[in-house]
Structure 1
Amino acid sequence: MKKISLLLLVFFSVLTFAQGMKFEENKSFKDLLALAKKENRLLFLDAYTTWCGPCKMMAKNVFPQEKVGEFYNANFINSKIDMEKGEGIDLAKKYNVRAYPTYLFINGDGELIHRVTSYYDAPEFIEVGKDAIDPAKQMGALKTKFEAGNKDPEFLKSFIKIFAFADPELATTAAAKYFAGKKEEPLSQEDFSFLFSLTKDSNSPLYGEFISRKDEMLKVMPEENYNKTLNSFQLNSLFNSSYDKKTKVFDEKKYVAEASKTKSEKEVSTLLLKSKIRVAALNKDKNEYQRLSMEYYKDGSSPEFTSEELNSISWNFFENATEKVNLDRALLWAKQSVNLDAAYANTDTVANLYFKLGDKANAKIWATKAIELAKKEGEEYAETQALLDKVK
């Protein structure tokens, strides 16, 4: 009996030490910062969402690895917070988290020291942690080097990656310098990523790259999509010149006057309605957003609406609408999305809308369809399964 107990003790000791990352559970962000300060370590924060595929892959494939655990447990206070729930919502705003997964390295005073955004394999993820504790590679040091005029292409690329979300304006300035230094060189896949993620409108210092490198652009996208991209940048410039972010006031007369210079009366009317929807979203006016969206999307049958766009607006209504008439309209859009291109995401939206409307029979039918599609597409479907379990 004693020998058996000793063997069990050895077995459990192996399990204890051969573990992956240890995450602090049930602690507020304030308490996590206090702990980081007390132990003089950085706080590692996995800023995730429940729908993020790469987030789930990191949690499943990387965080549990022994070597990853050894490094992160020794050097950081590890935490994970859903950016769409509880205090995660405010933290996402505070640290400008807009892409997932994002990893934040924060000191005990709440100051952001380092950040990255991507899926990493275990060795790369350990290197990310090493960079976070290396004073020469932390955000403050990188900013000092950039301001001192460092134009090395590799440095600029690293700088852009780290500051793309922490300080997009600064990252755009760095990108402009980066592209200015490689005028004669072809664009890499990473270069295209920088351009598309940082160019917001036709006033951007990066917009000229889209014009001067048109031939290269057409190698990676159809000319129709290229033209749509340029048009989108121009419309964003028009909107940005008419909307005051500080006062949250939209100058409708100015918008119409400028748009009328290049657009027909019908086009201006449509663009104005879309802009009003955008303003309502920015101002977080849910009622106005839903009213205007119903006016714009109508029955969702316009050939201009894509499956993805209809699913997106349908899901927005699922999350925010409460009136039956609004939910019924969202269901119409979601079904139209499925008709255009049936996939797990939009089929799941239909199931959830039926459930919210109290139609459990149809919710069951569509949840079953969604799970079948998820299996074919290799998607995670735990939340859909939970819905199905509720209606069985």
Structure 2
Amino acid sequence: MIKKFILILFLILNTALAVGQKQTLFLDKNYTETLTKSKVEKKPIVILFYATWCVHCNKMKNEVFTDSIVTQFYRTNFILMAVDATSSYGQELRTKFQNKFKVSSFPTFVFMDSDESLLYCITGELTKDAFLSEGKDVLLPENQLPNILKTYNEDPSNQDKCLKYITTIRKAGMDATPIAQKYFSTKTQEERFTELNWRIFSNGINNFDTDEFKFVVKNKDSFSKVASPSRVDKKISYTISETLKPLVELGDTINYNKKRLIAKSFQIRKIDSLLYRFDIQLALQTGNLKKYKIITTENVQNFSWNDAVLLYDICNTYLETINDKKGLLQALEWSKHLISLGESIDKYVLTTKLSLKVKDHKQALLFAQKGKLLADSLGFKNDEINSLLAEAKRH
């Protein structure tokens, strides 16, 4: 009986310990009540914006928020709450604070004082040590956004103060372009060509329709010397891509075409290639097949001739959507070139189908036979190539 009692007690203690370990540091709470508590206890707030499906959120919940040192530090120094950012209440809070910070990835930790002034933001999965370090840094006045802003405004020409302000604003998901512009207005053109100024530009200027961005494009070689050619090219391409991508996804042809003219004016081949991809994506998305044909006819050899994946997609789009013989014959020639880049059963299937669609049955038979030979040599049974071969033989 004593042994049974000890065993039961052991199981109870283990269960209690397991339950205790599952307790999370951040619990879903009402913001208004949290703010009231912050004012009473005179402690800043930390809001965790999470998503139930977020792997990083759940990992921190299980591995970081259960750590005794982490929980003691955060409970001692902050008022804590969590909110599902994808819920109606989460969306309500995101809208309420959209001019102070933006939640675009998970987890996002927002630090605010009891007056609802934003102090700092952290985004992404952090280890125990990193999460502790960030929390300790936020408690230092010099790392809080209002003080960073004050310090910056006292001397907008100071590189270090400007970069710190830009970095903090970017962590809050906000555009730092006006900050960088104010800083660069204090510098002559000759003074801009330094590594630190490149970092301010790279982190701060996120609009390619600005004098600062155009200045960098015009002086690519000079900036490449203080940064590197790859960093400069990457920044230019990324900024243009991130600006145009949402317009393409929305099918916003008016604003896309306005921005496109600016990007095109830079006369950089990598940018022209990027615009080509966006152009064909937008034409397809808006159902403008006539424009799609014009774009691809004029640009396939320039921008997708040796890109097997993109060229395959274009040929397949012609097969599925284009019916005029001239366009199909053009796609057939592209498809033949596609095979020359490297054989695959899919490419032979595509070329056979295009041949059949233009009623070139002799050519269809040739490519179907080659496709079957390749499938047989690889030990693959391909019903589609066999079916196409049978169809080509009937003619």
Q: How high is the TM-score relative to the length of structure 2? A: 0.50
Larger CA Rg, structure 1 vs 2: 2
Q: How high is the TM-score relative to the length of structure 1? A: 0.50
